[in-house]
Structures are given as structure tokens and as C-alpha cells.
Amino acid sequence: MTSTENIPTPNNDPGSFSSFRSTSDHDTPSQQYQLDSTPPMHSSHRQISNHSQNLPPQSSSSSPTIGRNPSPPPIDNLSRADMVGDEMYSKSWFCQVLLKLIQFVAPEQIHDEIFSTIRQQGDEYVLTNSNKKQELDETFESELCELWDVSMSADVAHLLIEFNSLDLFNVVLIQSKDKRCTEIVLGILSNMACCKRNIIQDNQTISVALCIIQHTNLLSTILSILTSDDYSACPTLVQLFRLIYTLIVRQDTRLLMLEHIQLTYEPLCFILQSCYNKDLLEQCSLLLRVLLDECNLFDNNEQTEVFYLFLTSITTAISALIENETITINNILENLFNCLQIYTTHEYFIDMLNEHCQTIMKLIENILNRLVHDDIVQIRSVLLLSCISICNFFLYKHGLNIINKQLLEYFIIIGHTCYKDRQRREHQKHMIRRQRSRTQSHSSNKRKDIDDFDTNGKTGDDDSLLKSQNSSTNIDWDDETEVQSTTTKVDSDRSTSEDLVITSYTLVDELFLELFYRGIKQDSSKTIDNNTSVFTQLNQDQREIFRKIIKHFCNIDKRLDDMLNL
């Protein structure tokens, strides 16, 4: 029997805090997580033949008994006490791995009081290995990785808290010079912080994440890694920023983390400006987006230098990513452009954005060159919507001076795609309404036939059939729950997609109305030659499409009638 706890993967919803494991050849365990590499499992199964052999022989003169198979022996109390919660993992195995970790980083502290709980079930290991110097060899690394994998389980996370493992992990982060060992410990802490089941400690119910952040020295030790040259390896920093991100997004630990988050600003910006590691950039961009969007950092206007440093780091990172076309970096770009879009929502940063206007618009042009290809445009792309929103901001502030022919052509393709998509959706809605009308008409006729039948009465066979159908609907509640869960997820995804579509229509509508207004204003001012107007540089087909978008997609006639109440 194996544990039924699923091990999450990195591509889950950020709100569920998925377990992250590096995928490079040098950063992964030597063995994949398989059944034969899991911690030892307990089993209550024993051979019946051996049990039968221990039965006392019966004399021939005894009264006859009914022959039967012997009952399986019960699980003894020691085996049950060694089980981890509802899992079939062995506490002894966890103790041995933790004791090896103590031996590896600080063998002189193995008899300290703080590790007494771990030694309680590992005395045999202490007696046989107290004088041995452990090395992070392939076997020990594999055991640590197994511990990393199963640390997402709530039972395992609670067991590690019970064993005072936070003290041990603090010692490891201070004493260990092995970057792989540090990476694994930070990964374990990140998984533990994702635990949703609370733990009772000192007669209080708190989360595992709160236990981590309230530990006396652990948080300061974790943050000190950012300024240490010994831990500059990317895999270690990936797990470090993942842990910080997890503690920031949780509501119960956010306020405590924000008291120390200033220590991450400079390293975060340095990484954005100089790093090309995809995993590390993704974690840093996620953290920065949460800081700007959910933690209300902009409410403190006194940190102008920090916000300027953030903005410069974002533009530098985007420029470097665009130049490096050998990797797929859409997720990172989504986060970074979302950060830029957040800047445009605060009037306090207008001057700061104006200083970077030309740079940002050039970056947007390069991104649109990737996203816009003829009529194939993903209008639900968060990256595309962020770019359009930023363009709307700068167009409103600077007019057509920031728009060139290439950008206008991209806008026309995007607008035409939205126009055709809305036509298609309106046609589908019309067909659905027609189908519903036909179905309701058919149902009305069918209901009339049923009513006519009911007037003649129901037979006993009908009642039996109805009871049979009702009883069958109450079977397999687990299957029904699973179906409901799947349906809820599908509905949620559908709702999110619908929201993105509506947002894309709104942003494109605002963009073309602003272009239309600025074009009319530019034409009426007579301050420039008509031949230099950006609209006159379009070909005839592009002009017709622009006219169609303004007239039909933006509904300029209807808006004029509504405004004049006609």
C-alpha cells in the first residue's frame, strides 16, 4: 500500500502553491520519485502459513471444532505508532534521514537537547554512526529528495514540526556549504509552507507557514542567504524566492513578511537586470508582481528610489529577454508587463513613466511583432492585453507622437480580429437562443402529452421503475463529487476565458476611439502636412478595415445616437 497523497507539479494554480522542482540535469535527484524509492511502508500482512505453524497441536480426544482460516494478526501498537498520520510512511525512516543531515552539517550538535525528539526513534543509528562523517553522496541525496517530495503531505509537514526540524534546517542553512543540500532544505521549507492544514502548538491553532516565519532565527537566516556569495547558485535562489513568494501570498504570513521584505529589493533587482536563468527569472517576476499588485507597496510614496529601481530593472529584463530569442519566456514577460501596467494605474508615477516612454513603446512593438501574425491573434493573451493597456495610457498622455506605421498596422490587425471574434460569438448566441426556443416548444408539447397520460393514472410497474431510478441515483457519491468538482473547474476556466474576452473588447474599443479622436484632432489642427500623418501611410485595405472597426466594432453611430438621445 502506498500513500494516496498526490505529489503536485510545478504547473498548478499559483494560488495552490505547487511544489517546484528544478528540471535541469544537475538540479534534479538522481532517481525519479517511484514506488521503489519511497520511504519504507508498513504493512499488516503476514504469511498465514507461519501463523498456522505456531498453533498448538490439538489432541485427538478433544471435542471437534469447526475448521476455518485463521484471522490475520492485528497491527501491533508499535507499528501503528511508527506510522505518519494516515500515511504509511515510517517515522523511523524520517528520523534516520534527519539524523544523517545533522551528522552532515554539525556532528558535534547531534546530542543537543533540540534534537532529542529526532534521536528518540533513531538511537540505533546514533550508536552505529556517531563517529562517521557523512557525505552528500548519491544515496543520501536521493533520500533527501524523497523527503523533499513527500514534504507536501500535511502529515509529513506536521511531523517535521513535531521533530523540531525547523531548528535543524536553521543549522543546515548556517553551517552547510553544500549548495545542493541548501537547495533541498529550502525546497522542503517551501513545500511545508504550502500546507493548508493547521497545527496545534502551545494550545493555539496556527499554520505551518506561520510556524516557519515565527521561528526565532530561521527567517533571518533565510533572508541572509540573499547577501551571501556562498549561495549564489541559481537552483538555490529559485527555491529561496519560491519560499519568500509562498510566505508573501499567504494572508496569515503576509504582514510579518512585509516587515522584512525590504531586504529582498536590491537582490531582486540585481537578478532581473543580470540573470538569464528562466526558472529564477520566473520566480522573481512572480514575487515582484505580487508585491506591486497585492501588497500595496505604491501606497508608500516615500520609496521613490525603490520604485524607480524596480521600473528600470523591469525594462532591462524585458530588453534582455527579447534579445535572447532561444527560450520561451511568455510567462516571465506576462509578469513583467503586468508590473508595467500596474505602474500606469498610479498618477504618482507619470513622470517616471514619461522618462521611460520611448523604451517601453519600443519593447511593446517588439512584443507585438511576436504576438501578431496576419489574422492569427490570441486576443485572450494576458501579455497582449497588458501591452494594449499600456499603449492606451501613453496614447492618452502623448497622442499620436508615440505611434508609428508599424504599431498602427499591429493595432488594425488586433482590432479586426476582435471584430470578427465578436461577430462569431454573437452568431453563436443567436443560434443558441433559437435552439432553446425550439427546445422549449418541444418540451411544452411533451409536457402536455405527459399530463394527458397522468390523467389516466400510473401503474404499479411505473412506481417500481421510479423507485429503482431514484435508488440508482444515490450510488457512487464519490463519482458524483468528482464530476461536480470537474464541472466547477470547467465553469471557472470558462468564466476566466469570458472575462479575458470582455477585457480585450474593452481595451481595443478604448484604443481605437482614442486613435479616432487623436486623428480628428490632428487633422483639424493643420499643424502638420497631411502626407506625414500616420493614417495616410496605410494602404487602401487597411484604411477600410480601420473604418469598419470604428463604425461597427466601436458602434460610433449608436454611441452618437445615445449621446444625443435620438
pLDDT tens digit sequence for 148-175:
999 988 989 998 998 889 999 999 998 8
Residue 482 grid coordinates: 468528482
The answer to whether 390 touches 364, Cβ cutoff 8 Å, is yes
Residue 182: inside a domain: yes
Residue 373: inside a domain: yes
Identify the domain boundary among 226, 248, 270: 226
User: Residue 184 above 50 pLDDT?
Assistant: yes
| 317-359 pLDDT, tens digit each | 999 998 876 555 678 999 999 999 999 998 888 889 999 999 9
Angle (nearest 5°) at CA 316 between 360 and 20:
115
Residue 108: inside a domain: yes
The 3-state secondary structure of 505-517, one letter per residue:
HHHHHHHHHHHHH
| CA atoms of 118 and 114, how far apart (whole Å) | 9
Highest mean pLDDT, choosing among 276-285, 453-462, 489-498:
276-285
Residue 185 grid coordinates: 532544505
Residue 90 dihedral angles phi and psi, to the nearest 5°: -100, 130
Q: Tell me, yes or no, whether 204 and 352 share the same domain.
A: no
Residue 376 dihedral angles phi and psi, to the nearest 5°: -95, 100
pLDDT band per the 50, 70, 90 thresholds, residue 475: very low
Predicted local distance difference test score (pLDDT) of residue 84: 65
Predicted local distance difference test score (pLDDT) of residue 70: 46
Q: Which domain holds residue 393?
A: 346-433+493-523+533-565
Residue 164: inside a domain: yes
Identify the domain boundary among 171, 202, 226: 226
Residue 558: inside a domain: yes
Residue 156: inside a domain: yes
Residue 550: inside a domain: yes
Closest by Cα among 348, 366, 363 to 314: 363
Across the range 62-91, mean pLDDT stands at: 53
Closest by Cα among 365, 338, 349, 364 to 397: 349
- Cα–Cα distance list, 414 to 322, 371, 462, 492 (Å): 21, 10, 59, 26
Side chain identity at 336, as an amino acid letter? L
- Cα–Cα distance list, 97 to 81, 104, 110, 224, 537 (Å): 18, 10, 13, 26, 71
* Four-CA torsion 140, 143, 144, 149, nearest 10 degrees: 160
Predicted local distance difference test score (pLDDT) of residue 189: 96
Could you list the beta-strand ranges (E) of 276-379: none
Closest by Cα among 262, 505, 296, 517 to 403: 517
3-class secondary-structure state, position 186? helix
Residue 480: inside a domain: no
**Looking at the 3D structure of the chain, how many domains does it have?**
2
Identify the domain boundary among 199, 226, 253: 226
Across the range 70-78, mean pLDDT stands at: 46
3-class secondary-structure state, position 41? strand
Output the pTM of the full model. 0.73
Alpha helices, H only, 455-476: 460-472
Predicted local distance difference test score (pLDDT) of residue 102: 87
Angle (nearest 5°) at CA 357 between 352 and 359:
115
